[in-house]
Amino acid sequence: MTTSNVVSAAHSAHSMGTLTVISWTLGPTDDMPATPFLMVYSLGDGLHGPEAGEAELRQTLEGMGVPIGGIVVDAGQDRGIGAHLLVEAQRAVLTLPFMNAQCQVPVEWQEAAYETGHVIVKIPVVPWPDAAPGVPVDEDRLKAFISADDVVRNSGHIAVPVSRIQG
């Protein structure tokens, strides 16, 4: 796993709180190329507390057709999901129906995104308040959060096709 160690504040909604984006890659392995990931997570600092933010994010994802704890939904096949991703100049610009965000990504991440043609976007409804915007997150902390049982059971996953600026 390689993390970009870059997070950026993306959006603040009344109930969801501050939504933040982080990037990392898994692999490569002998039989698979590196897989690029983005994770959109809440800091749990919404107007009505973390529980209200969790409920709103869950309802929003389910309304988009993204099951919580279920399969990876392919935004390239189901355009109604409204997920779009532009990757250019070591920046990922993610658009979801409820937010727009951009973050810096390392060269390896960008290359993996171009090679696979998509990025897996993980959206846990469980807040991660100790991963603050602009503060590097080390690999062990990221692994601990994304592999926690509660997070695994309470995340939506979207495979978002990678777009590039046409030159």
Which of 26, 25, 23, 55 shows the shortest CA–CA distance to 42?
55
Token representation of residue 46: 């919404």
- How high is the pLDDT of residue 137? 86
Q: How far apart are CA 156 and CA 159, in angstroms?
A: 10
Peptide bond into 124 cis (omega under 30): no
Which of 121, 122, 123, 119 shows the shortest CA–CA distance to 161?
119
SS3 89: coil
The H helix count followed by the E strand count for the chain is 4, 9
Q: What is the pLDDT along the chain (167 residues), one digit of tens a residue?
A: 444 433 343 444 568 888 989 999 988 888 888 999 999 999 999 889 999 999 999 999 999 999 999 899 999 998 889 999 999 999 999 999 999 998 899 999 999 999 999 999 999 999 998 887 778 888 899 999 999 999 999 999 999 999 998 65
β-strand pairing of 155-163 with 84-88: parallel
Segment holding 63, helix H or strand E: helix 50-64
